[in-house]
Amino acid sequence: MADLSVNIAGVRFKNPVVTASGTFGFGREFSQVYDLSKLGGIACKGITLKPRDGNPPPRIAETPSGILNSVGLQNPGVDWFVKHEVPWLKKYDTVIIANVAGNEIADYCEVVERLNESQVDMIELNISCPNVKQGGVAFGTSAKAAGEITKAVRNVCKKPLAVKLSPNVANIGDIAAAVESEGADAVSLINTITGMRIDINTRRPILTNNTGGLSGPAVFPIAVRMVYEVSRRVTIPVIGMGGIATWQDAVEIMLAGACLVQVGTANFTDPYAPLKIIEGIEQYLDQNVISSVTEIVGKVQIYE
């Protein structure tokens, strides 16, 4: 049997499949379906300094091959997370990734400082959030802003640090290079793509936030392309996500350059999707006589 383990910044994942932030909560509901210890890791729901109610409904809209969401980072706040969710999650033999969000650099830093002494294994920085001090422009839409927030967080962060990149940019490779230069241990991509739906009868947006983040199989080819580009711009590990629904998708995005994959929207249509993907990757490696999953990372053969 092939070795499915992956190591990122000293953190060992037993297999390369992680559940994506915002689609798995803190794992409590899914723990009633299967043993969470079977997963390579869990990227928890985005955590902010204070509790957030999120946006008013409707905040989810179905689209062809995906969904739009404008949940608005509803979460119980970092103190609740550290006190109640992390100890519960540590009952399982899987990597715990805390996803951190905020509206100011100081918010991010304070959340990370409170997580430093917790039992989470890794921090994932969500830089798709609006920077209120810069007119609401997301931190991740410019290399300068992405580098600044990464540098500030790196200075206080005692955990391995991954930065989650927004695809709503002209050149994602520049963003990735900027966060690498400021100390990121890994990058994860892609976050959702901004989209919109309109009810033709009411002539109003379906989401009360007007726009939302598009995820699901519709964005998968974009994710593959961006993972490919980023993996050739940085030397740090790339974590791939965006529409991964099958083991074939996972293998494809790993060939593009991802060493780890996150499964998100697929959890809503099939809660067993991550386990099926793990099993499929293992069978693929065995059938092709590949001894380790790391051997397929970035091995796409590009036409010259």
Tokens of residue 160, six digits = 């391995």
Contact 71, 22 (CB under 8 A): yes
Q: What's the rounded Cα separation, in Å, for the pair 243 and 64?
A: 12
Element spanning 122, H or E: strand 122-126
**129 counts as catalytic:** yes
Which of the residues 44, 109, 129, 259 is marked catalytic?
129
CB atoms within 10 A of CB 61: 20
Task: Using DSSP, state whether 62 is helix, strand or coil.
Answer: strand
Q: What's the rounded Cα separation, in Å, for the pair 261 and 33?
A: 21
- Output DSSP code: residue 155: H
* Nearest partner of 73 among 21, 135, 131, judged by Cα: 21
Q: What's the rounded Cα separation, in Å, for the pair 88 and 179?
A: 32
- With tokens 């100011």, the residue in question is 104
- With tokens 């999120």, the residue in question is 54
* Nearest partner of 300 among 251, 249, 236, 261, judged by Cα: 251
Phi-psi category of 54—alpha, beta or left, where left has phi over 0 and alpha has psi -120 to 50? left
Distant-in-sequence, close-in-space partners of 200: CB < 8 Å, separation ≥ 6: none
Tokens of residue 234, six digits = 């940085």
Tokens of residue 212, six digits = 């939302």
Parallel, antiparallel, or unpaired: how do β-strands 60-63 and 11-13 relate?
unpaired
Active site residues: 129
